[in-house]
């Protein structure tokens, strides 16, 4: 009987999550892509001055809100932005979304009251497994339930599923639907947006979300989202103490999409760390003629060799083996006619920390599921 009930819950949730696919973006003009672009921010903790790798100082966060208010940037609910990304219909210029990952208590006690006071919509990606554990310093179901009653607050889902776990799609979907059932039981809603923990994913995790009918999923790679983006790996700018001053925040607010296709590696999880991966992508046809103005950087390295192949194909050649389990690639291109704005593409490649230790025995052994820093 229990198996029948579980199967019924699974099927009902699957039916609920079956949504139309995103609009095809291959034939969109650059103007269409720009007109539906948006910048999405992700925060984790506010006011914990002892953890600059994941937290933002309170005064920095207040400064961000002041800039949004003073400059009049349109801050829209994330589901509304996702709908525009899927359909390709225009958004107001410099559209912004504010999101939070995780269940840190500072979200409900510090950040949420400030945002609600300014009537700014925001999304919180909650982890039901952490909420159930009731660890110190985390929100409770009661906190989340109170927040969910406010207009403009969207709840999404995140789970500590990492690529190095090497779970198959069936296991991922079981955990996903178990988490969804917990949220439904506690709050009575079915979130359909997902955030990868610290932006880490592999192709199996991404495909499991798509096959489960999740509407959209979000990473931690920098860049502006657009109809040309993978709806199951949308970019967000991570805001942490070292990368959130007023100058950088203004720079990201003005970001435009840098649309590309044929990204390699197709799977951002590299497995073994000490490698020289083949990194490449093809610029949108409307940008191919400006390929020489593209600048790219790989975290922890000198600038890579940039090879321009044919019409708009870009190949990046690292000058040394990748020795970190989180590698960021950022590429920018100035916007024609708007000298203060940049097109921005971010990629995040990850590898198994255990493989990194095996390749470099002198390194200390990190906790596989411990807190990750968010370098930009």
Query: Residue 359 has what pLDDT?
Result: 47
Q: 82 and 269 in contact (C-beta within 8 Å)?
A: no
| pLDDT score, position 273 | 56
- pLDDT at position 339: 84
pLDDT given for residue 355 in this prediction: 61
Q: How far apart are CA 209 and CA 193, in angstroms?
A: 10
Q: Is the pLDDT assigned to residue 84 strictly greater than 50? A: yes
- The whole-number average pLDDT for the span 196-210 is 96
pLDDT tens-digit readout, 120-138: 999 999 999 999 999 899 9
Within the chain, how many helices (H) and strands (E) appear?
Answer: 12, 18
Give, as one character, the DSSP assignment of residue 104. Answer: B
pLDDT at residue 371 greater than cutoff 80: no
| Section 141-148 average pLDDT | 97
Contacts of residues 365-372 at CB distance under 8 Å and 24 or more positions apart, as own/partner, are 366/325, 368/162, 368/164, 369/160, 369/162, 371/51, 371/53, 371/54, 372/54, 372/198, 372/200, 372/326
**pLDDT tens digit sequence for 215-272:** 999 999 999 999 999 999 999 999 999 889 999 999 999 999 999 999 999 999 998 6
| Confidence check: pLDDT of 99 > 50 | yes
Across residues 284-303, what is the average pLDDT?
93
* Helix, strand, coil share (%) of the chain residues, nearest 5: 35, 25, 40
SS3 readout for 306-317 = EEEECCCEEEEE
Tell me the C-alpha distance between 109 and 164, whole Å.
33
Question: Of 39-48, 118-127, 231-240, 352-361, which range is least confident?
Answer: 352-361
User: If you average pLDDT over residues 199-224, what whole number do you get?
Assistant: 96
pLDDT exceeds 80 at position 308 = yes
Does residue 302 register a pLDDT over 90?
A: no
* pLDDT average, residue stretch 153-181: 95
Average of per-residue pLDDT across 19-43: 79
Write the CATH number of the domain with boundaries 2-257: 3.20.20.370
261-359 CATH choice from 3.40.920.10, 2.60.40.10, 1.10.40.30, 2.70.98.60: 2.60.40.10
Mean pLDDT, residues 133-150 taken together: 95
Q: What is the pLDDT of residue 352?
A: 81
Mean pLDDT of 53-65: 94
pTM, two decimals, is 0.89
Q: Which residue, chain included where needed, has tokens 């600038």? A: 303
Strands 122-126 and 96-101, sheet pairing = parallel
pLDDT of residue 132: 94
3-state secondary structure 40-87: EEEECEECCCCCCCCEECHHHHHHHHHHHHHHCCCECCHHHHHHHHHH
- What is the β-pairing status of strands 305-309 and 338-351? unpaired
Q: What percent of the chain has pLDDT over 90?
A: 75
Which of 8-22, 97-111, 216-230, 301-315 bottoms out in mean pLDDT, i.e. has the lowest?
8-22
Q: Where are the domains of the chain?
A: 2-257, 261-359
Q: What is the pLDDT of residue 26?
A: 57
pLDDT at 250: 93
> What is the rounded end-to-end Cα distance, in angstroms, of the chain?
50
Whether the per-residue pLDDT at 23 is higher than 80: the answer is no
Written as six digits, the tokens of 29 are 């003009």
CA 255/CA 249 separation, integer angstroms: 10
Q: In which element (H, E) is residue 335 found?
A: strand 326-335
| pLDDT(198) > 90 | yes
Query: Strand 55-56 vs strand 153-158: parallel, antiparallel, or unpaired?
Result: unpaired
Average pLDDT in the chain: 87
Residues 6+ apart with CB under 8 A from 317: 276, 279, 304, 305, 306, 307
Residue 312 near residue 290 (C-beta atoms within 8 A): no
Quick: pLDDT tens for 258-275: 999 999 999 999 986 557
- Looking from the CA of 235 toward its CB, the CA atoms found within 13 Å total 29
């Amino acid at each position: 009987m229990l198996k029948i009930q579980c199967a019924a819950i699974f099927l009902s949730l699957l039916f609920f999550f079956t949504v139309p696919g995103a609009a095809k973006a291959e034939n969109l003009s650059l103007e269409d892509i720009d007109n539906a672009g948006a910048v999405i921010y992700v925060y984790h903790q506010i006011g914990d001055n002892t953890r600059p790798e994941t937290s933002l100082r309170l005064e920095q966060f207040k400064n961000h809100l002041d800039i949004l208010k003073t400059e009049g940037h349109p801050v829209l609910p994330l589901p509304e932005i996702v709908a525009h990304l899927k359909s390709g219909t225009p958004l107001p210029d410099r559209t912004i979304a504010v999101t939070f990952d995780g269940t840190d208590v500072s979200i409900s006690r510090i950040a949420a009251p400030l945002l609600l006071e300014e009537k700014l919509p925001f999304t919180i990606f909650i982890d039901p497994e952490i909420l159930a554990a009731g660890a110190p310093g985390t929100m409770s179901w009661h906190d989340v339930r109170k927040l969910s009653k406010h207009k403009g607050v969207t709840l999404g889902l995140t789970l500590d599923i990492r690529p190095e776990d090497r779970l198959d799609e069936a296991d991922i979907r079981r955990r996903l639907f178990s988490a969804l059932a917990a949220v439904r039981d506690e709050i009575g809603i079915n979130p359909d947006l997902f955030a990868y923990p610290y932006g880490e994913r592999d192709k199996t995790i991404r495909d499991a979300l798509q096959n489960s009918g999740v509407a959209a999923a979000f990473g931690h790679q920098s860049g502006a989202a657009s109809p040309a983006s993978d709806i199951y790996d949308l970019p967000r700018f991570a805001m942490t103490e070292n990368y959130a001053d007023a100058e950088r925040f203004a720079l990201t607010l003005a970001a435009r999409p840098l649309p590309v296709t044929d990204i390699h590696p197709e799977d951002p999880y590299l497995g073994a760390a000490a490698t020289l991966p083949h990194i490449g992508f093809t610029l949108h046809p409307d940008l191919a003629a400006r390929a020489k103005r593209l600048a790219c950087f790989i975290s922890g390295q000198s600038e890579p060799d940039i090879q321009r192949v044919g019409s708009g194909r870009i190949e990046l050649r690292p000058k040394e083996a990748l020795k970190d389990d989180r590698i960021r690639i950022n590429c920018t291109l100035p916007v024609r006619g708007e000298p203060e704005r940049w097109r921005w593409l971010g990629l995040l490649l990850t590898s198994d920390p255990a493989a990194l230790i095996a390749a470099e025995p002198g390194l200390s052994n990190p906790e596989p599921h411990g807190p990750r820093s968010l370098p930009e």
